[in-house]
Structure 1
Amino acid sequence: MMLNRRQFGNTALGSMAAIWAAPAIAQGGKINLKVGGQFADSHPSSKAMEAACAEIRQQSNDRIDIQFFPNAQLGSDAAMLTQVRSGAIDMMTASGISMQVVSPIAGISGMAFAFSDYAHVWQAMDGDLGAAIRAGLDKVGIYAFPRILDSGYRNITTSNRPIASVDDLKGMKMRVPPSPVWVSLFTALGASPTSITINELYSALQTRIVDGQENPLTIIESGKYYEVQKYCSITEHMWDGLWIIANGKRIKSLAADDLALITKSFETATVKQRTETERLNVDLESSLKAKGLVFNRPDKAQFRQLLTKAGFYADWKQKYGPEAWAVLEKYSGSLA
């Protein structure tokens, strides 16, 4: 049957439109996904991601070939975040505080002394606060999966003296991650913060570029910082977690069933990881003591009082805005 010129043109345009409108990854096709992580393969978050990726491969009969690369193999946090946004890598685990540079609200969950216990953490992160953070990330092309991994409450380690009172932080050279929240926090506490990436931290402690650092016990153990630090002060000055994030365009091009499989596997692994990390952050104190780390527990109230007096909370309330701050205080109680 012959087509006239108008019919041919309409048919061709229709076919092209169908191609452009189709998902980038068709249902049933081979999918290759690369996921980056910052911590050693022994860290609970790395183990959880390895388990989730293995489950996804198995459940899809290896049609979804998703591979996890721990220990900053794909670059520093900042480098991986840039790659995820550009599409050079598909996914990564990322601290909300570290993502503050591209989506300011992402760091609000790391506000100092915001959550008194894990019950409040999960109410917030699985509730309205987590939803607000994910919405903010979506605006800059980052898709965050619903459940956040637990990194734990952060504590201070030092090589020269324990932190028995807030005065012990004065002038101390403290390593902090490259993020405005951390820098402003330890500046307000009187320390001298220096931003150093996690993959350079051990050598910075070993060569005394800095005297101390702050991290959850799981990271102190997996990073072997007890080898180059003497004291650990349980300050629990902030809680931090790791979002599993993806390039927005890439993840939204997946078929609905494939995205559902990936989401379910990540959620199952995350729930298990939360329980394991909470247990480890208690049990690790004994094993780290056996490795020579000396522990103490300073009064946390003095740190909060100094932060309030220094205007730390008032400044961050203004930066985040009253609406976001109200969502945070729904779970934390009044901070400023």
Structure 2
Amino acid sequence: MVTQGGISRRGVTAGLLAAGLIGGGALPVRAQRAKYRLRYGTAFPADHPGAVRIREAAEAIATATNGEVNLQVYPNSQLGGEADMFSQVRSGALDFMSTSGVNQTVLPVGGINAVAFAFDDYAKVWAAMDGDLGAYVRAQFAKIGLHVFDKMLDNGYRNITTAAKPIAGPDDLKGLKIRVPGNQLWVTMFDALGAAPTPINFGELYAALQTHIVDGQENPLALISSAKLYEVQKHIALTGHIWDGHHVFTNARRWAAMPEAIRASITKGLTEAALKEREDILRLNEELIASITKAGVTFSKPDKQPFREVLKKAGFYADWKGRFGAEPWALLEKYAGPL
């Protein structure tokens, strides 16, 4: 079992559930007195660092505001799918949520961090997303009525899993029916690589793999583990083809209506949570390779350059430069290098 800071993730989650602090349990006395009762929705499973650390932030925020703020965390898509939650935040029906891919349907440049094979390592990721590229993206979201917090959560580098054969290079993807999130960046990437990308909701993914509706899928190791996808997949290729991060959103108008001191406490809590969650994912990546290997899964680490060459030849990078625009693409290449 994976632990964080010496504390079992499963134990932390069980304790929060028992106390009614995750999801719709009975509110503690302090929460019942709160002036600001806020809800935070996420697709992350309850024991994923992206949910656990936000729950810790909620407790810190309650303490910092003397109980004025009660932030309830709803993991595992309890409040609906990511697209539904994103729409709810835009309308003001939901207070906070985190997501990556679904926002691209509203603001394409919101997914520029997921350009295939852009970031070689985390040093480049955080330089970009905590720097000028992230600031540019957040400014675009502000134009459509969303406040985005400065620090993103780390969903991790995405890797390809398969049941029948390992992926050693781009040729192995030809004809592979692979599940992808329902957005164009993912679909066009795997199309260019010769695969057959198939959008399926994450909640339906395990069954789709088990019944061979799709032959493979791609996700960060933390989600492969928490969703137990390794039970129905026997090979994991550490392609790291996309770095995937979650922006944390709130409705800009509702956010501006809160007192400055309350906003400052929430911002501080969510910022600290994001930085801790990033560290958690780094530790988990190392631990999960060992634990998933013990479950009978074979790992490989393909050379990334042949994938990049196929994408470049297919016009993938030129196409997305045109879609995103010259200014954000220049900011991406400032950190990632020429694509």
Q: TM-score, normalised by structure 1?
A: 0.89
Tell me the CA shift for residue 75 of structure 1.
0.8
Task: Give the aligned residue type for 1:222.
Answer: S
Deviating above 2 A after TM superposition, structure 1's stretches of 4 or more consecutive aligned residues are none
Q: Secondary structure at the match of 1:163?
A: coil
Gapped runs of 5+ residues in structure 2?
Answer: 1-32
Distance 1:287 1:230 in 2: 14
Corresponding residue for residue 298 of structure 1: 302
**Counterpart-to-counterpart distance in 1, 2:336 and 2:306:** 18
Kindly state the Cα deviation for residue 93 of structure 1 after the two structures are TM-superposed: 0.9
Counterpart position of 1:159: 163
**Structure 1 partner of 2:173:** 169
Give the structure 2 partner of residue 242 of structure 1: 246
Q: Which of 244, 254, 268 matches 1:264?
A: 268
Give the alignment partner of residue 147 of structure 2, picking from 130, 143, 155. Answer: 143
**2: CA distance, partners of 1:161 / 1:249:** 50
Q: In the alignment, what sits opposite 1:74?
A: 79
Quote the Cα distance in structure 2 between the aligned partners of 1:138 and 1:245.
10
Number of aligned pairs?
Answer: 307
TM-superposed CA distance for 1:280, in Å, is 1.1
Partner of 1:191: 195
Counterpart of 1:115 in structure 2 is 119
Does the 8 Å CA contact 1:175/1:212 hold for their aligned counterparts? yes
C-alpha contact 1:36 1:68 (8 A) present in aligned 2: yes
* Residue pair 2:34, 2:70 contacting (<8 A) in 1 also: no
The answer on 1:308 being equivalent to 2:325 is: no
* Mapped pair 1:226 → 2:250: no
Among 59, 66, 74, which residue is 1:61 paired with?
66
Identity of aligned residues (%): 50
Distance in 2 of aligned mates of 1:54 and 1:201: 32
The corresponding residue for 2:282 is 278
2:52 matches 1:47: yes
Cα deviation for residue 86 of structure 1 reads 1.1
What is the match of residue 36 of structure 1? 41
Structure 2: distance between partners of 1:218 and 1:112: 19
CA deviation after TM superposition for structure 1 residue 29, in Å: 7.8
Deviations 1:243-277 (A, max 9, x none): 11111111111111100000001111111111111
Tell me whether 1:134 sits opposite 2:138 in the alignment: yes
CA distance in 2, matches of 1:178, 1:29: 38
Q: Which runs of 5+ in 1 are unaligned?
A: 1-27
Report deviation, 1:292: 1.5
Shift of 1:61: 2.5
Aligned to 1:7: none
Measured in 1, the distance between the counterparts of 2:34 and 2:281 equals 36
